[in-house]
Amino acid sequence: MSDKITCRICNAEVHSIQIHLRKDHPEMSISEYSELYPEAPLLSDVAQAALDSKRSAAEASSSEAVPASVITKGLVKKSLHETFKLGRVKAALSGKGEPIPITVLSEGGPDSDLIPEKSDDYVYDVDELKNVILALELNIPCYVWGHKGSGKTELYEQIAARTNRPFMRVQHTLNTEESHIVGQWTVKDGHTVFELGPLPLAMRNGWMYCADEYDFGMPSVLSVYQAILEGKSLVIKEAPVELRIIKPHPDFRFVATGNTNGNGDETGLYQGTSLQNSANYDRFGMVIHKQYMKKQAESKILQNRVGLVQEDADKMVEYAALIREAYDGAKISDVISPRTLIYAAKIGVKRGSFRQGVTLSFINKLTKVDREVCDGLAQRIFG
């Protein structure tokens, strides 16, 4: 029995009526043929199976491209390890060893000048990175706190840079007022107008809003964020009707940093921070305590940013570790940050003495007793 079908015009045995018409009956279209012979098949079972196989292969090929280049409403799905140049290491993959898809905004947006510069020198703690990315994906307000110079704000900046998110950073001090955040009436060109502050601008335009040094703000002022932390609209009572209610854009994200977790400064290092309102901090869905980097990562930063050879970078990091141990043991009252260590390394290279570098960048900031302890540790490491 033949696996072909029969042409109703000439009784020829073929697999595809459309191909047969084009070759032997050019005067008739496939639609005309179907009208004349509505019950006649147009493809043989063999031809239909081949067509189905081709379609399945095309769909599979398309699905394999996810998450590398799927664009939906200005969003792109890419893999975490490729976006942040981590390599296909186990820590940057899912529990099943598969790439982790993350959301990246498409390039060339109207506010692209607000996207931070990418830094290839920044060294990520992959677990911290995954947690912040998770908060952004789930639209959960995220608060990162820790010692000075531990890279809290820079972590957010580099995530914004790699995911193409416009980034609005707002510093908080004891003098920060609600009007500095939401906006105020002002005079422009002789006219009184209401000028939106950084928060409503970020909410309207879908920017990433970083409330920096959050614990330096007054609790009464920070209460303006509470509705936003709940994912609700901002109501500006003083604004004109058309600007009074600001609804959050789907891409808007709220993040914050601080030296404390809102329970006050237990170290004595961060004068100006204050005990915060627990109800306000309760609205942060994710809180990350950012520690100083591991020795290997900190050494790599000094090698990348300052150009130190590994031996010198390791010595600098070893000195920092001794300082931090002394601080934890209550032997000194201050701690050295990676930021200060970078300054010390740069000065040390130019002066030809890393001991001089740490003296000028760190030791000279300390009390007399602390200077003696830290200089003794410098002599031990650098000679």
Can you read off the two tokens belonging to residue 204? 């309207």
pLDDT of residue 28: 76
Mean pLDDT lowest among 22-36, 262-276, 332-346: 262-276
Residues 368 and 242 in one domain: no
d(CA 94, CA 81): 10
d(CA 106, CA 367): 51
d(CA 13, CA 31): 20
Residues 57 and 177 in one domain: no
Alpha helices in the chain, H assignment, sequence order: 17-24, 30-36, 45-64, 80-83, 126-138, 152-162, 178-182, 198-205, 219-222, 226-229, 241-244, 278-281, 295-306, 310-328, 338-351, 354-361, 368-382
Q: Does 81 reside within a domain?
A: no
Residues 368 and 300 in one domain: yes
More confident residue, 262 or 103: 103
Residue pLDDT, tens place only, 73-85: 568 899 999 999 9
Q: Does 111 reside within a domain?
A: no
Which range has the top average pLDDT, 24-33, 98-107, 133-142, 283-292? 133-142
CATH number at residue 259: 3.40.50.300
Q: Does 102 reside within a domain?
A: no
Query: Cis peptide leading into 41, omega within 30 of 0?
Result: no
Residues 302 and 234 in one domain: no
Whether 254 has a pLDDT exceeding 60, the answer reads yes
More confident residue, 219 or 149: 219
Average pLDDT for residues 359-365, to the nearest whole number? 96
pLDDT confidence band for 269 (50 / 70 / 90): low
Whether 257 has a pLDDT exceeding 80, the answer reads yes
Q: What is the pTM of this model?
A: 0.72
Q: Does 320 reside within a domain?
A: yes
pLDDT of residue 206: 96
pLDDT of residue 270: 67
Residue that finishes a domain, picked among 62, 82, 106: 62
Residues 144 and 226 in one domain: yes
Residues 149 and 247 in one domain: yes
Q: Does 154 reside within a domain?
A: yes
Residues 206 and 249 in one domain: yes
The range of the structural domain enclosing residue 141 comes to: 134-290
pLDDT confidence band for 11 (50 / 70 / 90): confident
Whether 193 has a pLDDT exceeding 90, the answer reads yes
Residue that finishes a domain, picked among 62, 83, 101: 62
Q: Does 68 reside within a domain?
A: no
pLDDT of residue 350: 96
Average pLDDT for residues 354-376, to the nearest whole number? 95
Average pLDDT for residues 120-147, to the nearest whole number? 93
Whether 106 has a pLDDT exceeding 60, the answer reads yes
pLDDT confidence band for 57 (50 / 70 / 90): low
Long-range contacts of 26-35 (CB under 8 A, 24+ apart): 33/8, 33/9
Can you read off the two tokens belonging to residue 344? 């010390």
Residue that finishes a domain, picked among 259, 290, 321: 290
Helix (H) or strand (E) holding 281: helix 278-281
- As a whole number, the mean pLDDT across the chain is 88
Helix (H) or strand (E) holding 339: helix 338-351
Residues 350 and 207 in one domain: no
Q: What percent of the chain has pLDDT over 90?
A: 60
Residues 321 and 355 in one domain: yes
Residues 307 and 279 in one domain: no
Residues 141 and 245 in one domain: yes
Q: Does 127 reside within a domain?
A: no
pLDDT of residue 118: 94
Domains held by the chain: number: 3
Whether 68 has a pLDDT exceeding 60, the answer reads no
pLDDT of residue 251: 96
Q: Does 122 reside within a domain?
A: no
pLDDT of residue 139: 97
Whether 62 has a pLDDT exceeding 50, the answer reads no
pLDDT confidence band for 56 (50 / 70 / 90): low
Residues 337 and 270 in one domain: no
